[in-house]
Structure 1
Amino acid sequence: MAVDDIISNPAYQLAALDQDFILGDAMRGARFMMEYMKTEENLRRERIDSTIVVFGSARMHEDGNAWQSGIYNAARTFGRIASERGGALCDEHTQRNNVIATGGGPGVMEAANRGARDAGAVTIGFNIQLPHEQFPNPYITPNLCFQFHYFAMRKMHLAMRSRGLVIFPGGFGTLDELFEILTLSQTGKGHSMPVVLYDRSFWTRIINFEALVEVGTISEGDLKLFEFADDPEEAWESLVARGLELPPKSFPY
Structure 2
Amino acid sequence: MTERRETQKGPIRLRGDQVQSSTTDQRLLDSRGPSDWVHTDPWRVLRIQSEFVEGFGALAELGPAVSIFGSARTKPDDPMYEAARQIAMKLCGEGYAVITGGGPGVMEAANQGAHECGGVSVGLGIELPHEQGMNEYVDLGINFRYFFVRKTMFVKYAQGYVVMPGGFGTMDELFEALTLVQTGKITSFPIVLFGSEYWGGLIDWLRNTMLPDGKVNALDIDMLHITDDIDEAVAWFVAKDN
Whether these two folds match at TM > 0.5 is yes
The structure number with the bigger radius of gyration is 1
Query: TM range, normalised to the smaller chain?
Result: 0.7 to 0.9
Superposition deviation, residue 115 in structure 1: 0.3
Q: Given the alignment of the two structures, is residue 77 of structure 1 paired with residue 90 of structure 2, yes or no?
A: no
The residue aligned with 1:251 is none
SS of 1:166's equivalent in the other structure is strand
CA distance in 2, matches of 1:206, 1:223: 11
SS at match of 1:191: coil
**Which residue does the alignment assign to 1:60?**
74
Distance (whole Å) between structure 1 residues aligned to residue 137 and residue 168 of structure 2: 24
Which residue of 97, 100, 103 corresponds with 2:98?
100
Query: What is residue 4 of structure 1 aligned with on the other side?
Result: none
Deviations 1:34-69 (A, max 9, x none): 00111211223xx31231000000010113xxxxx1
1:237 maps to what in 2?
A: 235
Uncovered stretches (5+) of structure 2, i.e. residues with no partner: 1-39
Cα RMSD, aligned residues only: 1.3
Q: Percent sequence identity over matched residues?
A: 40
Choose from 153, 157, 160 the match for 1:161. 157
The question of 1:151 aligning with 2:147 is answered: yes
Q: What is the rounded CA distance, in whole Å, between the counterparts of 2:217 and 2:59 in structure 1?
A: 37
Structure 1 residues 174-233: Cα deviation after superposition (integer angstroms, max 9, x where no partner) = 000000000000010123311100001111124512021111110011121111110211
Q: Distance in 2 between matches of 1:34 and 1:191?
A: 27
- SS for the counterpart of 1:162 is coil
TM-score, reference length from structure 2? 0.80
The count of corresponding residues between Structure 1 and Structure 2 is 201
| Secondary structure at 1:73 match in 2 | helix
Residues 112-144 of structure 1, C-alpha deviations (whole Å, 9 max, x = no match): 000001101121000010011120110000xx2
1:118 correspondence with 2:116: yes
**Correspondence for 1:50:** 64
Q: Distance in 2 between matches of 1:193 and 1:25?
A: 34
Say if 2:23 is the partner of 1:26.
no
The answer as to 2:52 corresponding to 1:36 is yes
In 2, the alpha carbon distance for the partners of 1:148 and 1:191 equals 26
2:154 aligns to what SS in structure 1?
A: helix
Stretches of structure 1 that go unaligned for 5 or more consecutive residues are 1-23, 64-68, 88-97, 246-253
Report the equivalent of 2:226.
228
